[in-house]
C-alpha cells in the first residue's frame, strides 16, 4: 500500500474526480479529502492510497503538474506525519 499526497486541489474537487484520475494507473484503495475541522470546507489537499507501489509511482510521475478542475496539482508520495510537541 502506498499513500500519495495530492496538493493544490480546487475546493470543488470530489472523491470521484480523484478516483477517475488515479484509477487510470491502478487500483485505488482509499481517498481522503482533508477538510477543516471547524467549517467542514476542503483544505485543498487529499491523500490517495494505491494497492501497488509501482502503480503509485507511475501515477505520481504522470499526474504531478497536470490540471484537475482548473488547478495544476502537486502529486508526491506522502511523508509520515511529524510528531507535534
Summarised one tens digit per residue, pLDDT across range 43-61 is 999 999 999 999 999 999 9
Q: Any idea where the domains of the chain sit in the sequence?
A: 2-77
Grid cell, residue 32, equals: 481522503
Q: Would the pTM count as exceeding 0.85?
A: yes
The pLDDT assigned to 80 comes to 80
- Tell me if residue 36 falls in helix, strand or coil: coil
Q: Which tens digits make up the pLDDT trace of 15-47?
A: 999 999 999 999 999 999 999 999 999 999 999
Q: Which CATH number fits domain 2-77: 3.30.70.330, 3.30.70.980, 1.10.3720.10, 2.30.30.60?
A: 3.30.70.330
In 19-68, DSSP assigns E strands to 28-35, 42-50, 67-68
Amino acid at each position: 500500500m502506498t499513500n500519495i499526497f495530492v496538493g493544490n486541489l480546487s475546493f470543488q474537487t470530489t472523491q470521484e474526480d480523484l478516483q477517475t484520475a488515479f484509477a487510470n494507473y491502478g487500483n485505488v484503495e482509499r481517498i481522503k479529502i482533508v477538510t477543516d475541522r471547524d467549517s467542514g470546507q476542503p483544505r485543498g489537499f487529499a491523500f490517495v492510497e494505491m494497492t501497488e507501489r509501482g502503480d503509485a509511482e507511475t501515477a505520481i510521475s504522470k499526474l504531478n503538474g497536470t490540471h484537475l478542475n482548473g488547478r495544476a496539482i502537486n502529486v508526491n508520495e506522502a511523508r509520515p506525519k511529524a510528531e507535534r510537541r
